[in-house]
């Protein structure tokens, strides 16, 4: 079985609570070995820690293989405007008490300021921090990652210019950082890679209208390539899903994280390389960034 690695998801999300046993069994069944579970705000950091604490062993997997859950703690730009006065101390406490933790999900987001609808339910009740405030919060977390040489998982929407400016002037973790679900211009890939970026491909990029993003991932250097789900968000197109979406009590549809296998297969096709070769390359990159 080809080993698979999910560089960015939110497995602790409450959407998954009714399905967790099934999800873990499905992940093991398709060969997922490690996933990075990202917190986005102070309230969910303890949940990330709890779900990652014990790891998971699925008896339904062919070999009873163990699934490693790697915690990541960060303040997402959507939540930067609602941080508490103790957010830095809280983040330090979580990172310090969990060996091997990453910093994330952190980053910059101009989409929520310029293009998001005022009634977008995902942003309900949040104060949308202006970009300069987001940069201040991002820089502090990036400095923490650099000081402790921890991988950082970075979110960016409509702010790739400011992101590059920050990365060029801020201390960076020597082991590198992840641009999760990278959607920036292909022309910026070399500049980000030179600074130590890894780039994760997401199955949502298989939508026909996202041809530009698929083309970006044909030129990402092989040694900088990773794969992710961002589950429960960023569903694959229906025709590409191997596992149907999980319907929550409020009838929302959550991306099944075992669709990571379909994402690997699609990326191998996009890059015109054998799936086994892609898997080996991604496994090595994952281990280099997250040091497992």
Structural domain count, the chain: 1
pTM here?
0.95
71 touches 49 (CB < 8 A): yes
C-alpha span between 37 and 71 (Å, rounded): 5
pLDDT digits 0-9 by tens, 183-197: 999 999 999 999 999
Range of the domain at 142: 4-290
Residue-level pLDDT at 65: 63
Reference 183, options 162, 147, 211, 208; nearest CA is 211
C-alpha–C-alpha distance, residues 131 and 101, integer Å: 27
pLDDT of residue 251: 74
Q: What is the pLDDT of residue 123?
A: 94
pLDDT, residue 160, reads 98
Question: Is the separation of the CB atoms in 56 and 24 below 8 Å?
Answer: yes
CA distances from 202 to 7, 111, 155 (A): 10, 19, 13
**Is residue 268 within 8 Å of residue 274, measured between CB atoms?**
yes
- Locate tokens 């008896």: which residue? 59
Q: In terms of Cα–Cα distance, which of 34, 26, 35, 36 is closest to 58?
A: 26
Determine the Cα–Cα distance for residues 128 and 120; give it in Å rounded to an integer: 12
Averaged over successive runs of 10 residues, the pLDDT of the chain (292 residues) comes to: 96 92 94 97 97 67 72 98 98 95 98 94 94 98 98 98 98 98 98 98 97 97 98 96 87 92 98 98 98 80
Q: What is the pLDDT of residue 291?
A: 87
Q: Dig out the tokens for 200 from the structure.
A: 């994760």
CATH number, residue 111: 3.20.20.140
pLDDT digits (tens, 9 = 90+) for 54-70: 666 544 445 556 789 99
CA distance 67 to 77: 29
Q: Between β-strands 56-57 and 4-9, what pairing exists: parallel, antiparallel or unpaired?
A: unpaired
DSSP conformation letters of the chain: ---EEEEEE-TT-GGGGGGHHHHHHHHHHHTEEEEEEE--STTTHHHHHHHHHS-EE-TTSTT-PEEEEEEEE---GGGGGG--TTHHHHHHHHHHTSTT-EEEEEEEESHHHHTS-TT-GGGTT-----HHHHHHHHHHHHHHHHHHT--EEEEEES-HHHHHHHHHHS---TT-EEETT--S-GGGHHHHHHHTEEEEEEGGGGSGGGHHHHHHHHHS-GGGEEEE--TTSSPPPGGG-SSPPEEPTTS-EEPPGGGHHHHHHHHHHHHT--HHHHHHHHHHHHHHHH--
């Amino acid at each position: 079985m080809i080993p698979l690695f999910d560089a960015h998801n939110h497995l602790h999300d409450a959407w998954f609570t009714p399905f967790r046993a099934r999800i873990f069994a499905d992940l093991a069944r398709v060969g997922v070995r490690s996933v990075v579970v990202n917190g986005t705000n102070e309230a969910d950091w303890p949940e990330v820690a709890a779900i990652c604490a014990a790891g998971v062993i699925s008896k339904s997997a062919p070999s009873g293989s163990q699934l490693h859950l790697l915690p990541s703690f960060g303040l997402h730009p959507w939540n930067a405007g609602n941080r508490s006065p103790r957010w830095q101390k809280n983040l330090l406490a979580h990172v310090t008490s969990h060996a091997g933790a990453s910093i994330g999900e952190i980053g910059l987001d101009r989409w929520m300021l310029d293009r998001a609808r005022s009634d977008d339910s995902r942003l309900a009740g949040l104060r949308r921090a202006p970009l300069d405030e987001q940069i201040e919060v991002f820089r502090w977390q990036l400095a923490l990652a650099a000081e402790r040489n921890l991988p950082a998982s970075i979110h960016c929407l409509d702010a790739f210019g400011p992101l590059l400016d920050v990365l060029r002037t801020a201390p960076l973790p020597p082991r590198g950082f992840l641009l999760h679900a990278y959607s920036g211009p292909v022309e910026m890939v070399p500049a980000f890679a030179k600074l130590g970026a890894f780039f994760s491909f997401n199955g949502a990029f298989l939508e026909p209208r996202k041809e530009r993003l698929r083309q970006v991932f044909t030129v990402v250097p092989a040694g900088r390539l990773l794969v992710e789900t961002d589950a429960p968000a960023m569903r694959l197109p229906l025709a590409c899903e191997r596992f149907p979406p999980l319907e929550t009590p409020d009838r929302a549809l959550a991306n099944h994280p075992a669709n990571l296998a379909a994402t690997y297969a699609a990326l191998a096709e996009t890059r015109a390389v054998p799936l086994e070769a892609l898997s080996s390359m991604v496994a090595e990159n994952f281990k280099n960034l997250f040091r497992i």
